[in-house]
Chains A and B, each alone.
Chain A
Amino acid sequence: MGYPRVELKHLNHLWFQVTGTLCNLACSHCFNSSGPGVRTFDFLSLETIESELQQAVRLGVREVFFTGGEPFLHKHLLEFLVLSLHHAPTTVLTNGTLIPDHLAERLAEIEKASRYSLEIRISLDGYTKEMNDRIRGEGVFDKVLAATARLSRYGLLPLVTIVRTWPESEELPAIAGFMQTLKHAGYGRPRIKILPPLPLGRELTRIEGGHHEIMLTAEMLRGFDRDLLMCSNSRIVTNRGVWVCPLLVEEADARLGNSLEDSVLDYKLRHRACHTCYQYGTFCQNVSAGVEGTSEGTSKKASERTGDSR
């Protein structure tokens, strides 16, 4: 089959699946099917974090992300953050249910002591208890709102990430709803980021009838900025080795090696998730299509772009 291959152009983003697939919640749209007792992947050790960070620094890494499962289930997470922030800006992706007051205070201290930014990303999927808890579980809404207010009190501005569960035509009222809810809860300067639902993992089994098997082709990538694909700029470290990207950790062929140094390989885009990444972009990053820096740049009129379905 003529699946396109993509090389690791530069390691912009290093991901750690720090608690494997273990989570205290079982959200209905979770893209890697994490949940209580789910041990498809397990916790990372300090030795692994240290060693992979050293390798990533040699590769010129730009940012580090800690994900899971739920990262705050790892009792050594704060040590990992201090270590990571010594080398690079760092983001934790959390469900926000395990951040009591003393932890919020400690996170703020860690952030202040670092010359690089620490980002706390907290998931929320509804601006009412009913909307959110239907997806993320009973009682989660109140815990998350309290965590955002707590962090904000200590000077941190968590980025609230929201999976779009409404039609795009209702985007503006939805955003207004979230802003109002967060402010009302005590988070005075809310930062929010809307993400598309990814038809992967548990979300794939949740949606019915609307999904088709679409694979990426070389034709689709013609004229497309490949830097937007995670495989061109990211790798994820798990307790079972290094995978090409966070979306493919359930695919055996996406495991590239034991460590980062032997995972700087190109990758054949043969999975449905590759099309999802192509379609929605590198959804966890703050980037959009780039303009080449050199005089040989290839930017085109939007109407001339081919294969870009976004």
Chain B
Amino acid sequence: MSTRLALLGGIYSNYRALQAALSDVRSRGAEGIYCLGDLGAFGPYPDRVFPLLRDAGVQCIQGNYDNSLAGGLEDCQCGYTDPRDNYFARISYRYTNENTSPENKAWMGDIPHQLRLEVEGHKLLLCHGSPRKMNEFVWDTNSPDQFLGHLLRDAEADIVCATHTGIKWHRQLAPGQHWINVGVLGRPENDGATNVWYTMLELAPARVKVEFIPVIYDHGSLAEDMREECLPQEFIDTILTGWWTTCLEILPHKERARGKF
């Protein structure tokens, strides 16, 4: 016996990738579908993701974007420190804020910041950035074992699932102890491929299986949507090429060096 959970990361208004991912989850089968926050940002027509999430029964938690939109904050709290990164973050936040309905903003205000689950004897914590900060960037190559172990202990969890960085990764710290970044559906992960990713987590009493699932979707039509909405060409280029063109300065050296820009 085992339980399968589908874990979706930041959607960033990419309703086309969300549709494709939900269809893939249905074909594989899962006992639960969870989204770890940042429903809006970057992409077009932010209101389009909400009915898809509700109809599929996806349990969502808040990301920093959702927290900002629901609270009427001035910025997205993405955590960038570079002037160019912040310039594009402001464009994206302004567009998403102006195009998200008050009802959807209120809905985002009501979803939890974190979720704790106990599945097949494993204690799971689902969060956006890290258990201690919603907008903390926890990258593979700047997060040593002892630091992740500390976060797990403090959170009293065996398995932490997060997103926020935009790049999936998984590390087993000890038997039964895992950190999983589930990836994002919102944009490709800076490797020159246009697909996006979600995670299927299969749990049995003495087994944890993490599978990253590639999602191929109609990225060309998404780029068309973005053009219609006059979103920056830099964002469109990322969707069409699979290389990040913005929000690069937050990347640690190894993740940055793997990209093109």
Contact yes or no, A117 B250, CB < 8 A: no
Quick one: which of A172, A290, A295 has the most chain B CB within 10 A?
A290
Asked if B136 lies at the interface with its beta carbon under 8 angstroms from chain A, I say yes
Contact yes or no, B144 A301, CB < 8 A: no
Q: Of A12, A57, A286, A301, which contacts B72 at CB under 8 A?
A: A301
CB distance from A182 to the nearest CB of B (A): 14
Contact yes or no, A111 B253, CB < 8 A: yes
Asked if B241 lies at the interface with its beta carbon under 8 angstroms from chain A, I say no
Q: Of B129, B144, B261, which contacts A89 at CB under 8 A?
A: B144
Interface residues of B in 37-53 (CB under 8 A from A): none
Residues of B within 8 A of A256 (CB): none
**Given A117-B254, A157-B253, A295-B112, A60-B146 contact (CB < 8 Å):** yes
Q: How far is the CA of A172 from the CA of B252 in the complex (A)?
A: 24
Contact yes or no, A117 B81, CB < 8 A: no
Asked if A191 lies at the interface with its beta carbon under 8 angstroms from chain B, I say yes
Residues of A within 8 A of B127 (CB): 293
Residues of B within 8 A of A288 (CB): 79-81, 135
Interface bin, chain A: 35 or more
Q: How far is the CA of A290 from the CA of B129 in the complex (A)?
A: 10
**Given A157-B253, A286-B81, A301-B72, A87-B146 contact (CB < 8 Å):** yes
- Mask, A273-306, CB within 8 Å of B = 1, is 0000000000000111111111101011111000
CB distance from B97 to the nearest CB of A (A): 13
Contact yes or no, A295 B114, CB < 8 A: yes
Contact yes or no, B73 A299, CB < 8 A: yes
Contact yes or no, A89 B133, CB < 8 A: no
Contact yes or no, B141 A293, CB < 8 A: no
Q: Of A88, A293, A302, which contacts B114 at CB under 8 A?
A: A293
- Per DSSP, chain A at the interface is loop
Contact yes or no, A294 B79, CB < 8 A: no
Residues of A within 8 A of B252 (CB): 89, 117, 119
Residues of A within 8 A of B133 (CB): 227, 290-293
Asked if B131 lies at the interface with its beta carbon under 8 angstroms from chain A, I say yes
Asked if A134 lies at the interface with its beta carbon under 8 angstroms from chain B, I say no
Quick one: which of A156, A227, A286, A300 has the most chain B CB within 10 A?
A286
- Mask, B78-94, CB within 8 Å of A = 1, is 01111110000000000
Contact yes or no, A118 B144, CB < 8 A: no
Contact yes or no, A60 B73, CB < 8 A: no
Residues of B within 8 A of A159 (CB): 253
**Given A191-B256, A290-B133, A302-B75, A175-B83 contact (CB < 8 Å):** yes
Residues of A within 8 A of B128 (CB): 293
CB distance from A281 to the nearest CB of B (A): 8
- Mask, B128-166, CB within 8 Å of A = 1, is 111111111100011110110110000000000000000
Q: How far is the CA of A43 from the CA of B34 in the complex (A)?
A: 52
Q: How far is the CA of A221 from the CA of B250 in the complex (A)?
A: 26
Contact yes or no, B113 A290, CB < 8 A: no
**Given A191-B256, A193-B82, A297-B134 contact (CB < 8 Å):** yes
Asked if B77 lies at the interface with its beta carbon under 8 angstroms from chain A, I say yes
Q: How far is the CA of A171 from the CA of B83 in the complex (A)?
A: 9
**Given A191-B249, A293-B131, A293-B134, A89-B77 contact (CB < 8 Å):** no
Residues of B within 8 A of A302 (CB): 73-75
Q: How far is the CA of A235 from the CA of B178 in the complex (A)?
A: 28
Interface residues of B in 184-217 (CB under 8 A from A): none
Q: Of A155, A287, A295, which contacts B79 at CB under 8 A?
A: A287
**Given A193-B249, A299-B73, A302-B74, A88-B144 contact (CB < 8 Å):** yes
Asked if B174 lies at the interface with its beta carbon under 8 angstroms from chain A, I say no
Contact yes or no, A87 B131, CB < 8 A: no
- Mask, A66-90, CB within 8 Å of B = 1, is 0000000000000000000001110
Residues of B within 8 A of A289 (CB): 77
CB distance from B115 to the nearest CB of A (A): 10
Asked if A189 lies at the interface with its beta carbon under 8 angstroms from chain B, I say yes
Asked if A270 lies at the interface with its beta carbon under 8 angstroms from chain B, I say no
CB distance from B241 to the nearest CB of A (A): 16
Asked if B67 lies at the interface with its beta carbon under 8 angstroms from chain A, I say yes
Of chain A, the residue at the smallest CB distance from B255 is: A117
Q: How far is the CA of A286 from the CA of B137 in the complex (A)?
A: 9
> Considering the complex of A and B, which 3 residue pairs feature the smallest CB-CB distances, nearest first?
A60-B150, A291-B134, A302-B74
Residues of B within 8 A of A (CB): 64, 67, 71-75, 77, 79-84, 112-114, 127-137, 141-144, 146-147, 149-150, 249-250, 252-257, 261
Residues of A within 8 A of B (CB): 10, 12, 57-58, 60-63, 87-89, 111, 115-119, 155-157, 159, 171-172, 175, 189, 191, 193-194, 227, 286-295, 297, 299-303
Q: Given contacts A116-B142, A117-B252, could you give 7 more A-B pairs where the C-beta distance is less than 8 Å?
A: A12-B147, A58-B146, A175-B83, A227-B133, A288-B79, A292-B113, A293-B131
25 residue pairs from A and B, CB less than 8 Å apart: A10-B150, A58-B146, A115-B141, A116-B141, A155-B257, A159-B253, A172-B83, A191-B256, A286-B81, A286-B249, A287-B81, A288-B81, A289-B77, A290-B133, A290-B134, A290-B136, A291-B64, A291-B129, A292-B113, A292-B133, A293-B114, A297-B134, A301-B71, A302-B74, A302-B75
